[in-house]
Structures are given as C-alpha cells and as structure tokens.
Amino acid sequence: MQRRIRTILLSVFVVLLAMVAPVAHAEVEHPRQQWLRASTAGLFLHWGMFTAPKHLDCAEWERDVTGGGWNADYWVDEARKLGASYIVLATFHSRLGYARPWPSAIPGSCSTKRDLLGELVQAGKAKDVKIILYMTDDPQWHSEQGKQMLDSAAYSAYKGQQVDLTTRRGFGMYSYDLFFEVMRNYADLAGFWIDNDNEYWEQNKLYEQIRAQRPSWLLSNNNEDTPIMDTVSNEQKTSMTPSYDYPQAAWTPMPRLVEADYKLPTTGDWWYDGRDHPVDFRLSTGRYITNAGSSMKSLMAETPMVNGKFPPSQAKFNNFMAEWVPPIRESLYGTEGGGYMYGGMQPGFWNDGAHGVITVKPGAKTQYIHAVTRPSTDMLRLRDNGYWVTGVTDVRTGERLKFNQSGGYLTILNIRNWDTYDTVFKVDTPLQTGYYNNVSATATSTRDGFPASNLTDGSFESYWDANDKLPVSVTLDLKHRKPATHLAVNQREWSPTYARVSFGRPEDSARIKDYKVSISDDGVRWQEVRAGAMPSARGTQFIDIGQQTTRYIKLDVLNTWGGPQAPRYFGELQIDEIKVGHGYPLIPRGQTPLEAEHAQLNGTARRSICFACSGTSQVIGLGGGTRNSVTYTVTKEAGDHKLELNTTSAGTTSLTVTVNGSATEVQIPKDRPDVPADTAISVPLQAGSNTITLSSNSPRGPGIDRIAIAPLPPASYTPTTTMTVKPHGVQWIGPGQQTIKVTARLRLDVDDALDNVELKPTAPAGWTVHGAPATVQKLRLGQILSGEWTLTAPAQTPAVTAPVTASFQVLGRAKQVTTNVDIKPRPADRVFMREAEDSRNQFGSTGLTGCGPCSGGEKVRNIGGSPDAFVQFDDVTVDSAGQYTLYIDFTVNGPRSYFVSVNGAQPTEVKVDGQGNNTPYTTTLPVTLNAGANTIKFFNDGSGAPDLDRISLGTG
C-alpha cells in the first residue's frame, strides 16, 4: 500500500512539475537515467513490413521473418560489438507499415502472433542490453504503398465509436492505447523513443501516466527539447567541417541527455531497401568518438534484412568495431566530454590540421586526447586549460611519450604510431591551476533569473543571459590588483556552431564573434588590452591578454555569429563560466621544434621573456633589414609547404621571409607584443637542408615566437566562409527592361586568412552590371567583405542565372565560392509572382527547407502553431486597385489551413488537403488589392499550416 501511495504521489508531482517548469529543466537529471549516462552508444533498428522485399500482408511478413531464421540474440550480440548499451526498435514506424512485433489485443495495424518484442527484451536482459521501443504519431503514410495499412473499421469496433486512424487525432487515440498495452505486457522494457508529439497524447497526459506507471522507463523525443523527456535525440545532422564532428550541429547543453542519431549506411533509406549500402568507416568512427567527447550518445542506425541479419557492409563494420574499440575502451566508457562542464583541455582544431576531442573521467585525474584527424607533423599541440601534465601515454601501444608545457599549450612530441581513425593519449593531470576562485562579475544587461554572478559561481548549470542586448559588457572584479594573463570562456552550448536549417527550423551560432578586453584599477578609467574575433567553436575558448596587473577586467561582446535569419539565436548570448587566469603551467621536459630562441640569432636579435609564448620566450630586436634576423635550418622533402609564423607585434609591421635566398614580404597585423598570433604562407622547399631567415625592413619588426612547417592542406581545401547573397529565391520579372539590386556579404569563419579577395556578380548575356567589385587585400577570422550592384535586363529576358563569386587566395592557391541568383520571366497570365523563400519576405520563426519538386527547389516550413510562425509578403505590387486571384502553391500532409490577411485586414481561412510533403499543390483565393504595394500574410496561430512554395497573382 505504501509503495502504491508513493507511486501516486510521484505521478502528481511529475504532472505539476511538467506544467510549471521551464523547457529543458523538468527532467534534466534523474536516477533512472544513470544507465544511459554511463553508456556510450545505442543501436537504432528500422525494421518492419516494408523492409525489402516489401510485404503488404502481416502474416506473410511474419512467416518470412520466422522462416528466415530471425533471432533476438543476434541483434543483441551485434549491438555489443558496437559497444551499444541499448537497442531502439523502430517497427511501429510510419514508413514501415505500422507493424507491431508483438501479439496485440488492439486491432488497427499489423500485429505478429510471435512475440518478437518479448524475445528481444529477454535476450537483451540476459546480456545487459536495454530495449527501447520506437513509437510514432504520424499517420500520413498510411497508404504509401497503394494499400491501406491502418484499419479504422476494426479499431472503431474495438472502441465502440467511429475513429479515423488516418487523421492525427484518430491515430493519436490508437497509439495512446498501444502505449498502455506495451506497459502492461513488457515490464522489462527500458522506455519509449517517441517520434514527435501528438495533441491527443498531450491532452490525455500520456507522458505523465508513463512516469507514474513505469517510473524507471526512459522517454526520448526526436529533434525537440520537451521538458518531461529524458533524452533529446538529434537526427542525422550533416555538413559539418570536419564531416564527422556531429556535435557541431547539436543545440542542447550539458547535462541534458543528448543522442546523436545517424545512419551507418552512407546512402539509402533508414531501412533495408534491398541493397548493400557502404559504411564510411572514417565518418562513422569519427562520429562515435566526437560524440563521446561531447557527452552525447551515438545512436547508430543499421538496416537489418527481413531475417534480421545485417547486410555485409554493416556486418563488416560491426566486426571491425568489436576489435577497434576495446583497446581504447577506458577512454570512452565512464567518461564525459572534456572542455565543458566536466573540465578538461580544449577540443577542436589543433596544430597542423589536427582535430579531435577530449574525454575525462569525472573525479579522476585523467584525461584522454583523441586525435581523430592526425596532424601533418609528428607532434600534437593544444590548449591545456591550466592542467599540469605529469605523463602522456599512447593508450593503444602503452608507449610513454615526451611532452612539454608552456604558454598555455601542451605539446606531445615525436609521435610515431598514428591510428587510422583515432589516436588516443592518456594524460595524467593531477592538478588544474592558474585560475582565481574569488572573482565577482557584473554585466550591463541581464535577464531576470540569470544574473552575471552565475559567470563565476563555479557551476556550469547556472548561466548568465545577456537578455537579447548587444553590445554588452561583463566586468570581472579580482577584489585587489593582481596579475592576469588570460580569460577562459565557456559559452552555453545551446546552439550549433554554424548557420544551418534543421527540419525547416533556421539555426545559427549564438557565440561571441567580435570582442575587446580592457583593464582598470578603479573601474572608471579603462585601457584596452586585446581585441579580436573568437571562433564559433564548442568548448572552452581563450583570450590571452599578456602580462597585466589589474583589479578589473572588462569583456565587451560587440556581436555574435548568428544572423537574423535565425531569430531564436540572433543577438542572443549565454555564457556558463568565465575564469580569469594568472599564469600557465611550465613543464620544459622537451623542446618544441623550431622555437625562435633556439635558432641562430643575428645582429640585434635577442631572446626576451614572453610567458604566453612557446618555451616562455620569443626573439625581439628585428627591424632595419636583414642584418638583424633569425635563421633556421630545416630538413624537409622537396615541394611546397605551409610555413606558420607565430609572431608578436604592438603595431602593424612586416616580416621578410627568405627561403634559400628567395624573399617574400609578409604583413603582420597589430596585436600585442607579448601574445603570439599566427600567420601562414606557402613556401617552396628543396629536398634535404633548407635555410629560412626571418628579418624585417620595418623600423621595429615583430617578435618571433616559433615557426612550424607542414605539408600544404589538400588541393581541394577551401576555408569555411559564409556568403549571403540577396535576393534569395528565383526572381520572377515582367516584360520590358527590368533592374535587380544584388547585395553580397562574404564572412570568413575560420582562422586561415584569405588574400586578394574580390566579390562581384557576373552579368548574364545581354545584361549589364553597374557597380565595382568589392575587394580587400586580406580577410581574417570573422571579418566581412560587402558589395552592392544593380543588374539591368534587356527588353526580352529568357531564364538566366547571375552568379555572384568571391575569388581569393589561400596559401598561394586560387579559390572561389559562388552563389547564383536565378532569374525567370513571369508567365504571361500572372501580374505578380514571388517565391515563399524570397529574401524580401518576413519569416518570423519559420524556416526554409529543400524541396526538389518545388519552384526554386525550396519552400518555407513550420508555418503556424504560434503567432510568430508566419510568412509575410511585403511590396506585393500591382498597377491598379481591384480584385485579383491569389494562386497559392503549397505542400501538405492531411487537412490543414492557412489564414491569409491582406493589408492587415480580417484573415480568410484557406483549407487544403494532400499527401506527401514533396508534392506541390495549388489553390486559389480571391483578394482585393490596392494600387502599388500590398502586404499578404500567411499564418495560423492555433495549429500547423501547410508548407508554402510560392504565390502569384492573376487578373479576373
């Protein structure tokens, strides 16, 4: 009885908590999640009636499953090969026939006589692999194969009322009953993986009832952060650089449980389609490791055949993982992502093209460096975040490696054994030091409940919110004048690192871009000590400010990376923690190659202390020509190489780089005389010995910290840029001579500087361009080059494309990126036509998404459901006032409605219906317009509206 009372009280508590708690706080941490937090991966299985060869009869599918030798132990054993602690079974799936692999008393869709689900649950229990059941709320694909897969008549008879399972509400009622049947019959199940929400479920408190009846079960939700859910699953993110770094596209901060949900087969459907699709080992292992390095669970999707066996390519990968993971298991199991709330060194891009992540054992004095992409040299150099290192070991070989620490960096030397996919180093870090504990913070803008004091409270679960105000200042008070060398900034990981569209939702980075740092003794008079751009990257970011003695340090955030196309992130700023450093660990156990102080010094060139430099020294005294110089002798293979120059400079100056007698002048930008910055050029080297001399013709040349020589990146390499061209979307123009105003902005998003940058459009045949190209000699991180032009059309205009091209050089190689403006003649029976995705429209919180069959290949998605989810067409221009026919091109699944308002007048509901979000339809609406410019708004404040492709106007 007492146990039952506790269960009832828990249910009431959960219901109240879900009603009052803010998003992502209700179920962030709970004891039932512990097994998943301790895991690294899961196996996602899409398997059902439409697994090739497709079955349209449930009994025939079950017969072939059994006849083929399906065995639950096989799936569990394959999951264990992948290091998976759980299996998500997606059989009751909208694209797989809504098959239920369990005997059911509830009619409505395919249900097997054999208890396949029960067998899998028991097999998993015997081998400590949890089983989670996938559930969908989506009835739209009920007759995709030409046969009705949902039996509304049978379910209606069972319920004693008429229910249409092909509607979202009817299907919600049906699936609601299935949840309870599963809960009654499978006590050893671990939970539900739920693909989107259903209004019927929410109205009837489904999740709260699951919590009450099965409090130990987990709930996972796809692509949304729903408070009552344990897990946020991020589905199939792509287009990262490097491609395997899945966390770059995630937007849910720790300690929220997060899955990275991705396919192992490189191509094909989520389910077996009859072909043996390849598995990209590099991509898949990289995802596995970088997810672990961000405390994300790898939910790997495989495509079993009807008999349950995996196609050969997937089976081969599983066998590979069974051998590849165990030697590095200690670095992946029982660890958290390093560089975030659990401490650790800095993940991301390191030296000479290297990229990787850190894993840490919470509470232990051990970290693991995962070099997923190896450097082009034999050393690894990364920010140490104040951790004293006492030993470095190659986890796979057991070899102890030489290393040193200085200037805030750990350098691992003379690495001879590189794994193809992930070289792992165990790093002993008994102590983190060099940061002040008693620091207070204030800010010029703060959102209620998220004060600036959260920045220095030592907790990553409390954060400061700038309350949508930029620029904004944060002032750190050290209490007394003290030494200060750098800031370590952990921004809240609630946004992706780059602009993208995910399921029609616009996303962008809400991280610091341009900043400046100032110091003061009294909080009134300030001296600027550093300014620059911070990379849009995950994990701890550092700002070195040289050797300062001060009481107050002020960080001015001038802007963030996010653009206005993603209003959720634009102008927003959230920071977990800012730490003030007063020094760097110094362990000179080995010498970093090519440090300036160990080269040949000529003339007035001399060694000088520089605590932020490699080896805590630099060489100064350059200037006045070649007699004052630093000379290196290096041995390399013949060919062009990347020469990286680590220099310091209090003002803009230049450096003469002479390689084997051939000189190149390199501009060095103004920064600090005690903080090194990087500049890279391409140099030709001969086989064997080479002489590289650094000098300066400036009166006072730069300081030299070190140089580094590495192979050039692949010829295909182009630094990541963001180019925004307006107008976006196909431009429909009428007869006669027309003009189009084109604007473009090119932003450099990475540290590799661009040289000789030119931005311009190219006129199509017969067109003219008015306006000069936009140019700049050098573009650095975060900087923007903008241009504006007018394109004039001839009297008769066929469909044309006007490319806008940014041309530049990177390490001496010519590169370019291009975005096209597509222009088409308007049909003769239309007086106006514009794409929904056109940049002249207002989008609210909606987003653009690809749609191959749609006009222009795009459409606007996520219209409706809230007042800010609208599309508004401004400047809808007609020659004369009167009534027109508004043609609306759209896609839709099932019955939905727009509300259409013209010039702010009472809206008209437009009801439409259809099947398939990639099938364009057209409907019409009579509208009355004014002569000149008009406004037409599409919205639905109450529920989701159709996706919008294009509008046009006809007379009559």
**DSSP letter, residue 836:** T
- Band (pLDDT 50/70/90 cuts) for residue 16 is very low
Residue 501: per-residue pLDDT: 83
Yes or no: say if 383 and 542 are a contact pair by the CB < 8 Å rule.
yes
Report residue 289 as tokens.
Answer: 């490791």
Residue 2: per-residue pLDDT: 35
- Cα separation, 923 vs 900, whole angstroms: 13
Query: What size, in residues, is the chain?
Result: 956
What is the average pLDDT across 894-909? 95
pLDDT digits (tens, 9 = 90+) for 779-806: 999 999 999 999 999 988 899 999 999 9
Report residue 239 as tokens.
Answer: 């287009």
Asked if residue 671 has pLDDT above 60, the reply is yes
How many other C-beta atoms can be found within 10 angstroms of the C-beta atom of residue 466? 25
- Among residues 173, 178, 174, 204, the alpha carbon closest in space to that of 117 is found at 178
pLDDT digits (tens, 9 = 90+) for 335-377: 999 999 999 999 999 999 999 999 999 888 999 999 999 999 9
Asked if residue 5 has pLDDT above 90, the reply is no
- Mean pLDDT of the chain, nearest integer: 94
Which residues are 953's β-sheet partners?
A: 832, 886
Burial of 780 (0-12, 13-18, 19+ CB in 10 A): middle
pLDDT digits (tens, 9 = 90+) for 589-613: 778 899 999 999 999 999 999 999 9
Helices (H), 33-130: 34-37, 58-67, 72-81, 116-126
Yes or no: say if 910 and 888 are a contact pair by the CB < 8 Å rule.
yes
pLDDT digits (tens, 9 = 90+) for 558-595: 999 999 888 889 999 999 999 999 999 999 877 889 99
Query: In sequence order, what DSSP letters do the residues of 683-742 get, joined into one string?
Result: EEE-SEEEEEEEEE-SSS--EEEEEEEEEPPPTT----EEEEEES-SPEEE-SS--EEEE
Residue at token pair 């007759």: 143
Yes or no: say if 801 and 764 are a contact pair by the CB < 8 Å rule.
yes
Asked if residue 747 has pLDDT above 50, the reply is yes
Asked if residue 262 has pLDDT above 80, the reply is yes
- Band (pLDDT 50/70/90 cuts) for residue 456 is very high
- Cα separation, 827 vs 733, whole angstroms: 9
pLDDT digits (tens, 9 = 90+) for 523-561: 999 999 999 999 999 999 999 999 999 999 999 999 999
Q: Residues with Cβ < 8 Å from 475, sequence gap 6 or more? A: 441, 442, 443, 523, 552, 553, 554, 555
Region at 749 (left for phi over 0; alpha for psi -120 to 50; beta for the rest): alpha
- Band (pLDDT 50/70/90 cuts) for residue 13 is very low
Query: In sequence order, what DSSP letters do the residues of 394-453 get, joined into one string?
Result: ETTT--B--EEEETTEEEE-------SS-EEEEEE--EE-SB-SS-EEEES---TT--GG
pLDDT digits (tens, 9 = 90+) for 836-882: 999 999 998 898 888 999 999 999 999 998 899 999 999 999 999 99
What is the average pLDDT across 485-505? 92
Q: At what angle do helices 281-292 and 312-324 cross, to 10 degrees?
A: 50
Asked if residue 1 has pLDDT above 50, the reply is no
- Cα separation, 488 vs 544, whole angstroms: 9
Residue 756: per-residue pLDDT: 97
- Please state which architecture CATH assigns to domain 336-432: Sandwich (2.60)
What is the average pLDDT across 894-920? 92
Sign of the alpha-carbon dihedral angle for 197, 199, 202, 206: negative
Query: In sequence order, what DSSP letters do the residues of 80-101 get, joined into one string?
Result: HHTTEEEEEEE-S-TTTT--BS
Report residue 705 as tokens.
Answer: 């910290």
- Cα separation, 466 vs 444, whole angstroms: 8
Asked if residue 811 has pLDDT above 80, the reply is yes
- Cα separation, 580 vs 115, whole angstroms: 60
- Band (pLDDT 50/70/90 cuts) for residue 915 is confident
For Cα atoms 620, 625, 628, give the angle at the middle one, nearest 5 degrees. 40
- Cα separation, 409 vs 250, whole angstroms: 27
- Among residues 467, 463, 460, 461, the alpha carbon closest in space to that of 452 is found at 463
Amino acid at 459: S
**DSSP letter, residue 672:** B
Residue 790: per-residue pLDDT: 97
Report residue 900 as tokens.
Answer: 């259409």
What is the average pLDDT across 495-509? 89
Q: Which CATH superfamily is domain 596-711 in?
A: Galactose-binding domain-like (2.60.120.260)
- Cα separation, 216 vs 51, whole angstroms: 32
- Cα separation, 708 vs 685, whole angstroms: 13
- Band (pLDDT 50/70/90 cuts) for residue 26 is low
Q: Where are the beta strands (DSSP E) in 589-624?
A: 600-602, 606-609, 617-620
First to last CA, the chain: 74
Residue at token pair 């007048």: 905
pLDDT digits (tens, 9 = 90+) for 685-709: 999 999 999 999 999 999 999 999 9
What's the Cα-to-Cα distance from 935 to each of 71, 530, 642, 842, rounded to whole Å?
Answer: 61, 47, 55, 11
**DSSP letter, residue 351:** G
What's the Cα-to-Cα distance from 60 to each of 50, 105, 374, 916, rounded to whole Å?
Answer: 12, 20, 51, 27
Q: What's the predicted TM-score (pTM) here?
A: 0.93
Yes or no: say if 228 and 207 are a contact pair by the CB < 8 Å rule.
yes
Helix/strand/coil percent split, the chain, to 5: 15, 40, 45
Q: Residues with Cβ < 8 Å from 741, sequence gap 6 or more? A: 727, 788, 789, 790, 791
Residue 621: per-residue pLDDT: 97
- Domain 440-581: assigned CATH number: 2.60.120.260
Residue 406: per-residue pLDDT: 96
On the question of a cis peptide bond just before residue 727, with omega within 30 degrees of 0, the verdict is yes
Yes or no: say if 704 and 618 are a contact pair by the CB < 8 Å rule.
yes
Query: In sequence order, what DSSP letters do the residues of 181-231 get, joined into one string?
Result: HHHHH-TT--EEEEES--HHHHHTTHHHHHHHH-TT-EEEEESS--TT-SE
For Cα atoms 659, 662, 664, give the angle at the middle one, nearest 5 degrees. 85
Q: Map out the domains of the chain as residue ranges.
A: 31-324, 336-432, 440-581, 596-711, 721-825, 832-955
Yes or no: say if 471 and 483 are a contact pair by the CB < 8 Å rule.
no
pLDDT digits (tens, 9 = 90+) for 464-481: 999 999 999 999 999 999
What is the average pLDDT across 740-757? 96
pLDDT digits (tens, 9 = 90+) for 512-525: 999 999 999 999 99
Identical fold at 440-581 and 832-955?
yes
List the strands of the sheet with 409-412, edge to edge: 380-383, 409-412, 403-406
- Cα separation, 940 vs 55, whole angstroms: 39
Q: Which CATH superfamily is domain 31-324 in?
A: Glycosidases (3.20.20.80)
Amino acid at 45: L
Q: Residues with Cβ < 8 Å from 459, sequence gap 6 or more? A: 577
What is the average pLDDT across 296-310? 98
| Topology (CATH) of 832-955 | Jelly Rolls (2.60.120)
Of 94-98, 236-240, 305-309, 472-476, minimum mean pLDDT range: 236-240
pLDDT digits (tens, 9 = 90+) for 712-740: 999 999 999 999 999 999 999 998 878 99
- Cα separation, 129 vs 42, whole angstroms: 9
Top-level CATH class of 721-825?
A: mainly beta
Yes or no: say if 211 and 33 are a contact pair by the CB < 8 Å rule.
no
Yes or no: say if 360 and 353 are a contact pair by the CB < 8 Å rule.
no
- Among residues 649, 411, 629, the alpha carbon closest in space to that of 530 is found at 649
% of residues, the chain, pLDDT over 70:
97
- Band (pLDDT 50/70/90 cuts) for residue 893 is confident
- Cα separation, 343 vs 340, whole angstroms: 6
Residue 15: per-residue pLDDT: 35
- Among residues 806, 952, 824, 956, the alpha carbon closest in space to that of 890 is found at 952
